[in-house]
Each structure stands twice: as C-alpha cells, then as structure tokens.
C-alpha cells in the first residue's frame, strides 16, 4: 500500500475509488448503526447481498452498510441511491420485492414509505420525510452515505482533504484563528469556545501536549457521539489531527465508554487504516508533523465525562474530578497542557476548514454558530437523532421534525441537557435553541439530550428520577454534592410518597443553592437544575403533592388509585383476567370494580381494557385517595 504524502496522492486515491464505481447504477444503503442492528439490519443487508448476487446484479448495484441514519425508531432504514428513496421498517421478507420493483423496475413500494401522520400522504424521498425535511444535516449527512469501516468511502467524499490543506499550507496560527473566528463552541455541554481552548493549550508552557476526545456520553437516552464514532469515525480523527497540529500535540487519546462496542471497533479500525495510509504516524503529508492516537476504554461512569475525571481515568486513577483552579488546558493529563473536546466538536473541524468560516457562521444565532445534534426521545411521534441549525425553536424540533405528541396528548415540557439539565414548559416552546437561551431558561444545551414529556408526566417524579440518577452517579467525593443530593432525594421521595411537609419546597431550594455554589465540579454545580427548573415552572404541582396529597398527572403511585368507570365498563372482564393479584371484582353481570385494598397499582387493567371502552382510569383525588 502506498502512503499518502501529498494532496495529489490523496486526490489520486479518491479518483481511484470513484473509478471503480463508474458502472454502479444504484446503491442500496442499509443503516447499520446500533439502533438498526437491534432491528436486525445485518440480516437485511445479507439478504440484499444474496439477492443481488442471485440476480447477477453485482456489477451495477452495490449494497452498503452505513452508519446511523438517525430515524432509529423506524429502522431498519434502507435508502436507495441516487434517487434517495427511503424505506422504513424494512424486513428480510421485503428484500426480493425491493430488488425486483425498486432496483430493477424503478418502482416505489408504497407500503415501506413514510406516511404523514396528519395528511396520510406518502413520502418517497428522504428529504420529504418531515423528520429529515426540517433538519440541517452536516455532520450526520455523511453517516448515511459511507461505510464507516472503509477509509476509501471517506476519501471518496473528500475525507482528509481538510487535513491535506492544513498540513501543506495553513499555519498553526491560522488554523486556530479560523476555529476562533468560526466561534465553534464545545458540543459537550459547556459551550466553551474551542479556538480559545486550543490557543490556551498551545501557549501553555511545556513541550509535551495532548489532545483528547470525550466520548464518554453518559447521559441517559443520548447517543449522538456514539453515532458519529460508529458511523463516521474518520471525521473525528481528521478533526483531532488538525487540532493536534495547531496545538502542537504529538499524542491524542479517544476516551470511549466500554458500553459502545461498535464505536470502539469502528474507531479502532479507522485509526489502523489511517495509520496504514500514513495519515497518522510520522511525517504526515510530508510536513514533518508526527501524531498518534490511543483509544482509552472508559468503565462507564457518568462523572468520568467531566474533564479532570476523564484525565484521572486515563492516568489509571479513579475517574473522579479534581479541583482545577489551573485549567486542564494548562495542566491536564499527567500535568501537561491538554485540550479536551467533545466528539461533535472535533467532527466539525474538517467542515470548517473545507467550507470556511462564513459558511459555518451562516448557520445559527449571534452567539451560537453551526448545527447541533440532539437525540429527540420521549413522548414524541418521530424519535431519533436530529441535527438542526442553532437557533431553531423547540417548537419546530418537537412539532415539525418530531411531528408532535402521540395519541392526541398534550405537550407538557421538554427536558434538555442530560440528567443535570432542566425542564422547559410550553410557554417557552418558541425559545430559539442555543447555549445561552437554554441556560437563561434554567436548563442547558448539555450534550444534546432532548426528552419530550406529555400531560401524563409528573414533574415532581421527573425531578425525583434525575436526582436519583445524580445521587448515584455523583462520584461522592465532595460533601455538598453527595450529601446535598442525598437529602434532596429523600425529600423528593417523601413528597412523591404523599408524605411531603410544609416547607419542603423551600428546603429543597435552600439545599440546591449550596449544592450549586459549593460543589467541586460541574456535576454538583448543575445537579440541582432538575429540581430548580421543575419548581420554577411547576410549583403548583409540588404544592398539590404536599398540601393536597394529590398527583395531578396521576403518576405517583402512593397518591393515585385505579378506578373503573361504571358508565363505560361493558363487562368484558379482560381487566379481571389480567389482574395479577385478583383485585378486580365482578359486582354485576356487566360491571367490574377494583378492590383498592388489594390493588398493587401495576396498571395491567388499564392496558387490558379495550381502547374503545376506555373504562379503567387512574385518579388522584387528594387526601381522600385510598378511602374507597
């Protein structure tokens, strides 16, 4: 294999890859991200391989296993190129028909298309599907086009051309200036300007410097970074090499959580391939610049994603934050200047180099430029990974891309920023999403989690859930975080159990202030957000729990009872049949009742009751609950 030493050789390699494709008329791209794998997409790709071979189409049709397409809820996703026909929920049984109709005869199979929730119109092409239509896919766009295990695929879409440009003609200063001018802010949560951090690391005294990728991604429900590393690892590696050159680092680390096997494997493979082609190692692009990358497997603690904890973990210590009155960019890994950025931050770099500062700045708001990937989950029709320009409103994300709330329910709140983010109520749905606006609203961008909640969600219970997560995921080193969370959790537990006391809200606020002010790291610094934001926007709900012993959303088990509406009950008996504790009693031939003494509130009766009857209800009547 030849080593790539000049931009021309890179271009030649690109041409060579493309020349092998001239006869290919159609590509069948099969999403092979973790979500679709769970839906058995490997079987689908294999079936395509066999079908293409059987029909002797191998010369003109290529099956490509790509990274995550984002619309994970509807996998396995198959997109036929160049037409971009988008099939959702594809099964092995559909494969012969797809090849026969769509590949050979250019016909579309309606059954596999996206059907609009309101108009029932069928959407043929990727860009027509509302989930994709309102996105601005930059970083994720290539995920759907390339096989992440093929460096040739990446080079074919101009991969490593930004690196070539930088190493053969852009000075370190200019690279840093470009990233600063673009105002690329850290995608890992804090939104700190990446260019400023690069410059600090570069100017810090010491010859040995490090660059690091944060792929710890411990937020429940978030998988943006995972999808990039799984689907397009070279983009992160290219960004990292460019950063290393600008900063003056010879060694880089990618910290990936062990629970991401595919991300680990694809990243490992990508580093190996890049090394073979001379894109890592000695004298890259003949510039005299040497650089190597090591993968560090994280043991899966949320707190290890914090910068000083992550560096401790790489050093072999426990992943616990350290007091850092000297920034890690000056004194980080092994006390050397170290620049840590998030996966998505690094992946933006090649785009900024290739497309320019103006292009990047054309997307977003005054202070937050570019796009951001969110994992849109919860009570929303279309869930998955969405990439949007900064400044888009929450309403557009949830109601246009997400197509609204399922089952005709009402929107209640959206939780952003991961476990230590906050909830944002309906009154703020028109908030433009950027770092500062979310912060002002009492939440944060975090790494991009976005959990939609409908009217059936209890806000006190929501706060309790996140506080519980943080109380157990805090490292426990500093006392305000550990003990503050312990006590706040106790209080929330008692409120949701119907044992809340007068003054509990104020006590929560009092503890929260100290946890926020006095904790050692940002985990504690932000840990009170779920509590403070729910109190801020849903104080009445806390009051109902404490003063009236009532859960308005009918969620908190201690405060609700199950009830069969005698007007609606048709006496089918399904509730009785499904009750695991025999708590349903037949009172008349066509009427059932629930014995609240026996009932364990598991909800089996609600699920069993036919939708058309809708007779079983949860009710929360306040102090009278439990007295039947």
Which residues sit at the interface with ligand FMN, rule CB under 6 A? 186-190, 192, 194, 214, 216-218, 302-303, 305-307, 340-342, 345, 447, 521-523
CB 208, min distance to ligand FMN, A: 20
Of these, 416, 457, 474, 529, which contacts other proteins (CB under 8 A)?
A: 474
CB 503, min distance to ligand FMN, A: 30
601 class by beta-carbon count within 10 Å (0-12 exposed, 13-18 middle, 19+ buried): middle
407 class by beta-carbon count within 10 Å (0-12 exposed, 13-18 middle, 19+ buried): exposed
344 vs 461, which CB is nearer to ligand FMN?
A: 344
501 vs 543, which CB is nearer to other proteins?
A: 501
CB 342, min distance to ligand FMN, A: 3
The residue range among 41-49, 110-118, 275-283, 508-516 that interacts with other proteins, by the rule CB under 8 A, is: 508-516
CB 103 within 8 A of CB 57: yes
Rounded-to-integer distance, Cα 166 and Cα 257, Å:
30
Residues 511-550 that bind other proteins (CB under 8 A): 511, 513-514, 517-520
305 vs 350, which CB is nearer to other proteins?
A: 305
Our finding on whether 301 is near other proteins (CB under 8 A) is yes
β-sheet with 26-31: strand ranges across: 61-66, 26-31, 78-81, 85-87
Out of other proteins, ligand FMN, none, what residue 483 binds, judged by CB under 5 to 8 A for its kind, is other proteins
79 vs 488, which CB is nearer to other proteins?
A: 488
325 vs 627, which CB is nearer to other proteins?
A: 325
> What is the pattern of x (binds other proteins, CB under 8 A) and - over residues 309-348?
---------x---xx-xx----------------------
The residue range among 20-28, 75-83, 403-411, 506-514 that interacts with other proteins, by the rule CB under 8 A, is: 506-514
Out of ligand FMN, other proteins, none, what residue 192 binds, judged by CB under 5 to 8 A for its kind, is ligand FMN
β-sheet with 371-378: strand ranges across: 384-389, 371-378, 449-454, 411-416, 422-425
Of these, 96, 190, 221, 476, which contacts other proteins (CB under 8 A)?
A: 476
CB 618 within 8 A of CB 606: yes
Bridge partners (DSSP) listed for residue 27: 62, 81
CB 310, min distance to other proteins, A: 15
Q: Euclidean distance between the first and final Cα of the chain, in Å?
A: 80
CB 303, min distance to ligand FMN, A: 5
Of these, 507, 522, 558, 619, which contacts other proteins (CB under 8 A)?
A: 507
302 vs 592, which CB is nearer to other proteins?
A: 302
Rounded-to-integer distance, Cα 135 and Cα 139, Å:
11
Of these, 230, 238, 473, 541, which contacts other proteins (CB under 8 A)?
A: 473
Strands 292-298 and 251-257: parallel
Which three-class secondary structure state does DSSP give residue 68?
coil
Report which of 207, 223, 197, 203 is spatially closest to residue 346, judged by C-alpha positions: 197
- How many residues in the shown chain lie near other proteins by CB under 8 A? 35
491 vs 604, which CB is nearer to other proteins?
A: 491
240 vs 470, which CB is nearer to other proteins?
A: 470
Of these, 264, 352, 475, 556, which contacts other proteins (CB under 8 A)?
A: 475
CA distances from 282 to 239, 242, 279, 344 (A): 17, 14, 9, 26
CB 143 within 8 A of CB 227: yes
Our finding on whether 486 is near other proteins (CB under 8 A) is yes
270 vs 475, which CB is nearer to other proteins?
A: 475
Which three-class secondary structure state does DSSP give residue 508?
helix
Rounded-to-integer distance, Cα 488 and Cα 510, Å:
10
Rounded-to-integer distance, Cα 562 and Cα 615, Å:
10
- Cis omega before residue 189 (within 30°)? no
User: Tokens in use for 280?
Assistant: 């890592």
Our finding on whether 478 is near other proteins (CB under 8 A) is yes
Out of other proteins, ligand FMN, none, what residue 472 binds, judged by CB under 5 to 8 A for its kind, is other proteins
CB 189, min distance to ligand FMN, A: 4
CB 480, min distance to other proteins, A: 5
Residue whose C-beta lies closest to ligand FMN: 186
CB 304 within 8 A of CB 313: yes
**Helix (H), strand (E), coil (C) string for 294-335:** EEEEECCCHHHHCHHHHHHHHHCCCCCCCCCCCCCCCCCHHH
Rounded-to-integer distance, Cα 574 and Cα 236, Å:
54
Out of ligand FMN, other proteins, none, what residue 447 binds, judged by CB under 5 to 8 A for its kind, is ligand FMN
Residues at the contact surface with other proteins, assessed by CB under 8 A: 301, 303, 318, 322-323, 325-326, 470-480, 482-487, 489-490, 507, 510-511, 513-514, 517-520
């Amino acid at each position: 294999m030849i080593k790539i030493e000049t931009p021309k050789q890179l271009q030649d390699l690109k041409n060579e890859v493309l020349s092998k494709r001239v006869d290919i008329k159609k590509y069948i791209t099969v999403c092979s991200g973790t979500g679709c794998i769970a839906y058995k997409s490997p079987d689908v790709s294999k079936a395509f391989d066999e079908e293409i071979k059987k029909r002797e189409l191998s010369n003109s049709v290529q099956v490509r296993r790509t990274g995550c397409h984002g619309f994970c809820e509807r996998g396995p996703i198959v997109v036929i190129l160049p037409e971009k026909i988008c099939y959702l929920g594809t099964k092995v049984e559909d494969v012969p028909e797809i090849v026969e109709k769509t590949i050979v005869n250019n016909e579309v199979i309606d059954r596999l298309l996206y059907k609009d929730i309101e108009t029932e119109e069928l959407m043929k092409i990727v860009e027509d599907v509302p989930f994709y239509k309102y996105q601005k896919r930059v970083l994720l766009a290539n995920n759907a086009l390339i096989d992440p295990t093929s460096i040739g695929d990446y080079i074919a879409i101009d991969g490593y051309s930004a690196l070539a440009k930088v190493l053969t003609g852009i000075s370190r200063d200019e690279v840093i200036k470009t990233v600063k001018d673009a105002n690329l802010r850290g995608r890992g949560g804090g939104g700190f300007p990446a260019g400023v951090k690069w410059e600090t690391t570069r100017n810090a005294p010491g010859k040995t410097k490090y660059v690091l990728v944060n792929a710890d991604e411990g937020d429940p429900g978030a998988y943006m970074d995972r999808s990039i590393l799984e689907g397009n690892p070279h983009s992160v590696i290219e960004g990292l090499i460019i950063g290393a050159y600008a900063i003056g680092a010879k060694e880089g680390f990618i910290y990936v959580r062990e629970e991401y096997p595919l991300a680990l494997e694809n990243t490992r493979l990508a580093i190996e391939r890049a090394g073979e082609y001379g894109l890592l190692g000695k004298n890259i692009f003949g510039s005299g610049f040497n650089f190597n990358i090591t993968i560090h497997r994280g043991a899966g603690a949320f707190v290890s994603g914090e910068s000083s904890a992550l560096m401790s973990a790489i050093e072999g210590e426990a992943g616990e934050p350290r007091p850092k009155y000297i920034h890690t960019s000056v004194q980080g890994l092994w006390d050397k200047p170290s620049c840590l950025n998030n996966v998505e931050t690094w992946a933006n770099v090649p785009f900024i180099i290739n497309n320019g500062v103006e292009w990047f700045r054309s997307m977003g708001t005054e202070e937050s430029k570019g796009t951001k990937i969110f994992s849109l989950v919860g009570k929303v029709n279309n869930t998955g990974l969405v990439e949007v320009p900064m400044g888009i409103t929450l309403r557009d994300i949830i109601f246009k891309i997400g197509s609204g709330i399922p089952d005709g329910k009402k929107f209640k709140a959206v939780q952003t920023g991961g476990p230590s983010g906050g909830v944002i109520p309906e009154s703020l749905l028109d908030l433009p999403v950027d770092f500062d606006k979310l912060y002002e609203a009492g939440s944060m961008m975090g790494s991009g989690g976005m959990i939609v909640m409908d009217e059936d969600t209890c806000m006190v219970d929501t706060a309790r859930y996140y506080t519980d997560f943080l109380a157990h995921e805090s490292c426990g080193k500093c006392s305000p975080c550990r003990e503050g969370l312990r006590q706040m959790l106790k209080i929330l537990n008692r409120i949701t159990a119907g044992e809340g006391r007068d003054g509990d809200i104020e006590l929560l606020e009092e503890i929260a202030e100290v946890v926020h002010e006095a904790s050692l790291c940002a985990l504690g610094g932000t840990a009170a957000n779920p509590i403070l934001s729910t109190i801020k926007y849903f104080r009445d709900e806390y009051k109902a729990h404490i003063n009236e012993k009532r859960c308005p959303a009918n969620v908190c088990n201690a405060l609700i009872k199950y009830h069969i509406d005698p007007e609606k009950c048709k006496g089918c008996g399904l509730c009785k049949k499904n009750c695991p504790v025999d708590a349903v009693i037949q009172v008349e031939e066509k009427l059932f009742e629930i014995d609240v003494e026996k009932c364990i509130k598991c909800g089996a009766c609600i699920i069993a009751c036919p939708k058309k009857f809708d007779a079983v209800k949860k009710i929360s009547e306040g102090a009278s609950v439990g007295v039947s």
